[in-house]
Structure 1
Amino acid sequence: MEDWKTKCHPDVLKMLAYWEGKRGERSMPRRSDIDPAELVGLLPNIMLVDVVDDDRRFVYRLVGTGEVQLRGHDPTGKSVRDGYFAATPDAAEQRYQRVLDIRAPYYEEDNFQMVDRYVCEANLFMPLSEDDQAINMIMVFSINRDLYRR
């Protein structure tokens, strides 16, 4: 078992198991395989990010209410570069690019300074594909580690 799986929040493991169950024999599930009704308790921490073929590269399609509250704004419709929640826009984009490169879920724990606070997040990035070849969307589960340590 990978080291991060032994120390991450149980909801991260739930999301990974959900993604793995939905992919079946494919290397990754389709967006249509994901049923929000099956994720009700996790929805506030879920984001969907489109992979687009233009300079924007990654665009927030849907941002859960928990993530909006943590950020203090809703980046829906913005590129990751314009609506990022990380140390820098490049750091944010690199996470999504890594998912494209490895074509598999990617987990990271990120600590960064915002103007008004220090943020500690745990993020699981999961690729989605309509044709099981091109990744056209990335589903992200993000949870504030400070909140679950209490």
Structure 2
Amino acid sequence: MGGESFSGGDSARKITEEPQFLDTPEHPLVIEFLNYIEGKRGAREMADRADISPADLLRFLPNMIITEAVNGGEDFRTRLFGTALVELLGEERTGKLLSEFAEEGAIAKDKKAVQRRWLYITRQAFIGRKPVFAKVPFAASDRLYLAGHTISVPLTAGGTEPAQVVGAMFVTHTERRSD
């Protein structure tokens, strides 16, 4: 997606309306989730979806999203959208394409911005073939006091090419700073 202005690095500590990509995760549950996936990956480039056991991830399931690539990663179909995410965002998204995601809560301002965010972050993991960490403000719903700490990780499906992206989001309150 050319022309994106999503930033990373030091700006991740400022409150903005854009996702902020991080080199390493900040949230302890994102770190724990990453350690699990990395343990399953071993020496391979990516873990395989068959390596992932839902029984091992019970504490993360409410916060998880699992997507399957459509048209080589042009879009992604949601296979699982955790119950905590449904409650937070006010919409059941299991079965939907990321490009079909609607508003984040009843007060969302820009449905296209919501779709663009989800697609961009998921594609970064899929195309980059490695985990992506982001801090995502709830700008679309005017809830900038909340930040989602996200992880998106590509998985293979019995081969060597990415087929799915598994992720999770854990929400914290932001610290307002004037820098």
What TM-score do you get using the length of structure 1 for normalisation?
0.84
Equivalent position amino acid for 2:121 in 1:
R
**2: CA distance, partners of 1:114 / 1:107:** 20
CA RMSD of aligned residues (A): 2.4
SS of residue in 1 equivalent to 2:92: coil
Match of 2:139 in 1: 113
Question: Partner residue of 1:26?
Answer: 44
Alignment partner of 1:123 out of 138, 150, 162: 150
Aligned to 1:38: 56
- 1:57 lines up with 2:83 in the alignment: no
Take 2:98 and 2:128, find their aligned partners in 1: how far apart are those partners? 19
- Structure 1 residue runs of 4+, over 6 Å off? none
Is 1:67 aligned to 2:85, yes or no? yes
- For structure 2, the 5+ residue unaligned runs are 1-21, 105-110, 175-179
In the alignment, the residues of structure 2 paired with residue 113 and residue 76 of structure 1 have an alpha-carbon distance, to the nearest angstrom, of 23
Greater CA radius of gyration, 1 or 2? 2
Q: Distance in 1 between matches of 2:173 and 2:97?
A: 27
Alpha-carbon distance, 1:100 to partner: 2.1
- Distance, in Å, in 1 between the alignment partners of 2:119 and 2:171 is 19
Counterparts of residues 128-139 of structure 1 (less than 5 Å):
128-139=155-166
- Partners in 2 of 1:74 and 1:56 — Cα distance? 22
The alignment status of 1:102 with 2:135, answered yes or no, reads no
Kindly, what percent of the aligned residue pairs are identical? 29
Contiguous gaps of at least 5 residues in structure 1? none
8 Å contact from structure 1 (residues 27, 132) kept in 2: no
How many matched pairs? 144
- Specify the SS of the correspondent of 2:24: helix
Decide whether the 8 Å contact of 1:51 with 1:137 is kept in 2.
Answer: yes
Q: Quick one: distance in 1 between partners of 2:72 and 2:159? A: 21
